[in-house]
């Protein structure tokens, strides 16, 4: 049987990094097995719907390069499956369960349910729908139920969970899980607004879409006994379940907004490379054999399996993400410099910086090792394109009469280097002869030049910087600096 998996987000906010990891594992699993990857939007909880989140989910997945394989069979529709467009189907299945005595109508109001919970709290018992005391098909009887339905009384449909016995299922990652039925609530399947709950729609769709493996976050584990009971009630074979470990903050608490960004869009906006981000996400909970850390998408597809997914939570370590991004930066400089330069030039242009492809590529080569993110490289390298902005605080610590004298001499030396052989080596030689003769420290030369040419205390090697800026620009900057300081 060929593998069929799905990613089933609810449009209740921007795509969370944890959801991206879930999608990625589904995607890798499908591709590894030559199977099908489906996107299904679970939007039946109208109250939790957040406008814009659907678009954000699609945009984030597209950025991540994970496009679904299958579309609904509605003519002209090429989007994902959308549950709110399939409500008729869930209603039909709910009715079917009622007819077979596996589900029942309940008429309780919100106030009645709150009162029930308060009673249970006071009595010290776990909150659970009390089938025997509430207003439902069992306590009211068939006649009254029919009458209320005919009157249009708001009714929900609840699952009839066995009072005794246990639910048992296997999780690919966690092994056998057994839950006593008495701990499973008579879950609402259809709400009084005629929309299904997550549980019903999810199970019906996984069955209808012939999903073979449900790979989802650990937070859904408590729902699984309910789902297993539903599969049994319908007489369907359940898919295999794999619940992925939680993502954690560095202090091992559950990953939260309070400790950093959790939306994929934030990382896109910061300028992380797509491949680096995917590589990083893949290793959050999955341990391929050996110590290797850098994997392309194709390599991930080849290596991925659920057997090496951990049970323990995985720390979303931003330092590791930055490290990963730097690794990709290096790789791109070596193997995809043209592409990287194009990306860089787009960012430069957004800052109003026009330059040539050749010069931009050289700036990347010169400075990339100091910077993690490409947008930061734009900020950092601004002095390679524009007159530098001087770091006044730093200047106060090194600028004095001696430095002025030195800079004047350096101007002369640099101006005397032949323009046709102006490179870092020649400039270095010329300055070296001067420092030897005058017994000047090369460190002072470097700092003074750096101040006049780049304005800030950190950067690439000074000779390389000067060589790339060129003789004319370098001498103009030095004389400009001398004139105004």
The nearest distance, CB 100 to ligand GLU, in angstroms, is: 24
Beta-carbon count within 10 A of 404 CB: 14
Residue 257 is a catalytic residue: yes
> Which is catalytic among the residues 121, 146, 252, 257?
257
Distance CA 329, CA 73 (A): 42
Minimum distance between the CB of residue 188 and ligand GLU, rounded to whole angstroms? 16
- The DSSP annotation for 43-89 comes to ---GGG--TTHHHHHHHHHHHHT---S---SSTT--S-EEGGG-HHH
Quick one: 9 or 35, whose CB is closer to ligand GLU?
9
Percent helix, strand, coil in the chain (nearest 5)?
Answer: 55, 10, 35
Look up residue 14 and give its DSSP letter.
S
CB 7 within 8 A of CB 21: no
Which one, 220 or 434, has the nearer CB to ligand GLU?
A: 220
Closest separation between CB of residue 10 and ligand GLU, Å?
A: 4
- In the complex with ligand GLU, the residue whose CB is nearer, 136 or 202, is 202
Rounded least distance, CB 318 to ligand GLU, Å: 24
Specify whether the CB–CB gap between 281 and 332 falls below 8 A. no
Kindly tell me which of 8 and 247 has the beta carbon lying closer to ligand GLU.
8
- Which residue's CB is nearer to ligand GLU, number 60 or number 326? 60
Separation of first and last alpha carbons in the chain: 77
Angle at 212 between CA 189 and CA 285, to 5 degrees: 95
Positions in the binding site for ligand GLU (CB under 6 A): 8-10, 42, 198, 202, 216, 220
Best CA proximity match to 255, nearest among 263, 455, 211: 263
Tokens 């299945």 correspond to 93
Q: Please report how close the Cβ of residue 42 comes to ligand GLU at its closest, in angstroms.
A: 4
Annotated catalytic residues are 257
């Amino acid at each position: 049987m060929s593998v069929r998996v799905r990613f089933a987000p609810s449009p209740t906010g921007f795509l969370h990094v944890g959801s991206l990891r879930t999608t990625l594992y589904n995607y890798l699993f499908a591709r590894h097995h030559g199977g099908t990857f489906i996107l299904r939007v679970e939007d039946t909880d109208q109250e939790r719907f957040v406008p814009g989140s659907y678009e954000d989910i699609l945009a984030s997945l597209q950025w991540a390069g994970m496009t679904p394989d299958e579309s609904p069979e509605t003519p002209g529709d090429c989007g994902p499956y959308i549950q709110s467009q399939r409500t008729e189907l869930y209603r039909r299945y709910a009715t079917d369960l009622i007819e077979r005595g596996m589900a029942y109508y309940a008429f309780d109001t919100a106030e009645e349910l709150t009162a029930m919970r308060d009673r249970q709290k006071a009595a010290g018992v776990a909150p659970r729908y009390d089938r025997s005391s509430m207003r439902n098909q069992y306590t009211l009887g068939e006649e009254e139920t029919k009458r209320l339905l005919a009157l249009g009384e708001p009714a929900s449909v609840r699952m009839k969970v066995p009072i005794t016995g246990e639910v048992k299922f296997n999780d690919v990652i966690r092994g056998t899980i057994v839950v006593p039925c008495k701990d499973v609530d008579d879950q609402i399947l259809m709400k009084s607004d005629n929309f299904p709950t997550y549980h019903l729609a999810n199970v019906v769709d996984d069955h209808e879409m012939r999903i073979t493996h449900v790979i989802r976050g650990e937070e859904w584990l408590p729902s699984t006994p309910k789902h297993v009971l539903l599969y049994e009630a319908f007489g369907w074979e359940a898919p295999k379940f794999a619940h992925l470990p939680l993502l954690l903050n560095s202090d091992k608490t559950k990953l939260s907004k309070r400790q950093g960004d959790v939306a994929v869009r934030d990382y896109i906006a910061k300028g992380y490379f797509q491949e680096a981000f995917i590589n990083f996400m893949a290793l959050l909970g999955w341990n391929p054999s050996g110590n290797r850390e850098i994997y392309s998408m194709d390599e991930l597809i080849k290596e991925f399996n659920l057997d090496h997914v951990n049970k323990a939570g995985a720390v979303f370590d931003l330092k590791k993400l930055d490290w990963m991004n730097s690794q990709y930066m290096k790789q791109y400089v070596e193997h995809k410099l043209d592409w990287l330069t194009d990306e860089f030039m787009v960012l430069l242009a957004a800052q109003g910086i026009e330059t040539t492809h050749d010069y931009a590529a050289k700036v990347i080569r010169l400075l990339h090792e100091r910077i993690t993110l490409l947008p930061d490289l734009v900020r950092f390298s601004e002095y390679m394109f524009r007159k530098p902005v001087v770091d006044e605080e730093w200047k106060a610590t090194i600028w004095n009469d001696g430095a002025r004298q030195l800079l004047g001499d350096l101007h002369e030396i640099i101006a005397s280097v032949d323009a046709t052989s102006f490179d870092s080596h020649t400039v270095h030689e010329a300055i070296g002869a001067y420092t030897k003769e005058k017994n000047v420290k090369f460190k002072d030369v470097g700092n003074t030049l750096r101040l006049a040419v780049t304005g800030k205390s950190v950067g690439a090697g000074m000779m390389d910087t000067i060589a790339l800026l060129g003789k004319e620009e370098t001498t103009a900057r030095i004389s400009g600096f001398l004139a105004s300081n």
